Amino acid sequence: MFSRDEARRFVPPGGGDPHKDVFLAWELLYRLEPELYDRLASAERLHPGVVDWLPRDVDRIAEVGAGTGRLTMELVGRGQHIVAVEPALPLRRILRRKLAAAGHGERVRVIDGFFDELPLPDDFAGLAVACSAFTPAPGHGGDAGLAEMERVCRPGGLVAIIWPNHLDWLATRGYRYVSFPGPMYVEFASHDEAVELAEIFYPTAAGEVRRRGSRKVPFEVLGINPPRDLAYKVLPQC
């Protein structure tokens, strides 16, 4: 199910164990159950302040690790041309389908690619952004991935990591931090779906999700940080 390039980046020596390796587990999910992943990602909506904070009227935007379009659909109104880079073929198919259904198929180009080897030229975009995909781990970002995002972003442009982890790691590389206040909920399509997906992805919280009887579940109930923040760097002018 992995291409040679994917296996080199995502599969540890010996094949790995998805029960012990969370990164491998997610990569398998993207390829084996992409629709299941999309149901979860669609419920985990970004804080509106995050999207509003991003620049408008950007000529070109490069999104890395686009997945099934959690952020991509929000970027359409902020850039004239968007390139969404995603390594998992099943997720690219879902994203293309969503874009076509929304009439955005001509405005957004969805391509294969990896954090550490972006198929884009130097100084390509005014905004280079990743959402819920970048980590310090090799294959999912790291120093090589950060360098690539900065390479494809032109001088004076913005590199943004939305819903980041390891803030100290990003801070040592010159990234600043913004967070937006207010309650946040994972908004499932129904209470039944909330229970179903909690049992799969957040089993220790499934009982509380069932008890609440609502399709809207506070992020803290699931034990995860809400997508209310970002780390960013404005690249210096030459």
* pLDDT at residue number 219: 98
How distant, in Å, are the alpha carbons of 175, 191, 198 from that of 222?
A: 28, 14, 8
- pLDDT score of 142 more than 90: yes
User: What percent of the chain clears pLDDT 70, i.e. is strictly above it?
Assistant: 100
* pLDDT at residue number 139: 87
Helix (H, G, I), strand (E, B) or coil at 231: strand
Residues, the chain: 238
* pLDDT at residue number 182: 96
Angle between helices 22-32 and 34-43 (to 10 degrees): 110
Taking only the tens place, the pLDDT of each residue in 124-134 is: 999 999 999 99
Taking only the tens place, the pLDDT of each residue in 178-206 is: 999 999 999 999 999 999 999 999 999 99
Sign of CA dihedral 14, 20, 26, 29: positive
Strands 125-131 and 58-64: parallel
Identity at 207, one-letter amino acid code:
G
Nearest to 202 by CA among 43, 88, 86: 43
How far the first Cα of the chain sits from its last, in Å, is 43
- Give dist(CA 40, CA 189) in Å, integer: 10
Confidence of residue 105 (pLDDT cuts 50, 70, 90): confident
When mean pLDDT is compared across 52-56, 104-108, 114-118, 227-231, the lowest value belongs to: 104-108
- Give dist(CA 6, CA 8) in Å, integer: 5
Contact 38, 68 (CB under 8 A): yes
Contact 125, 118 (CB under 8 A): no
Torsion of CA 54, 57, 63, 69, to 10 degrees: 80
Helix (H, G, I), strand (E, B) or coil at 197: helix
Over its C-alpha atoms, the chain yields an Rg (Å, rounded) of: 18
Contact 40, 227 (CB under 8 A): no
Taking only the tens place, the pLDDT of each residue in 207-219 is: 999 999 999 999 9
Confidence of residue 158 (pLDDT cuts 50, 70, 90): very high
- pLDDT score of 238 more than 80: no
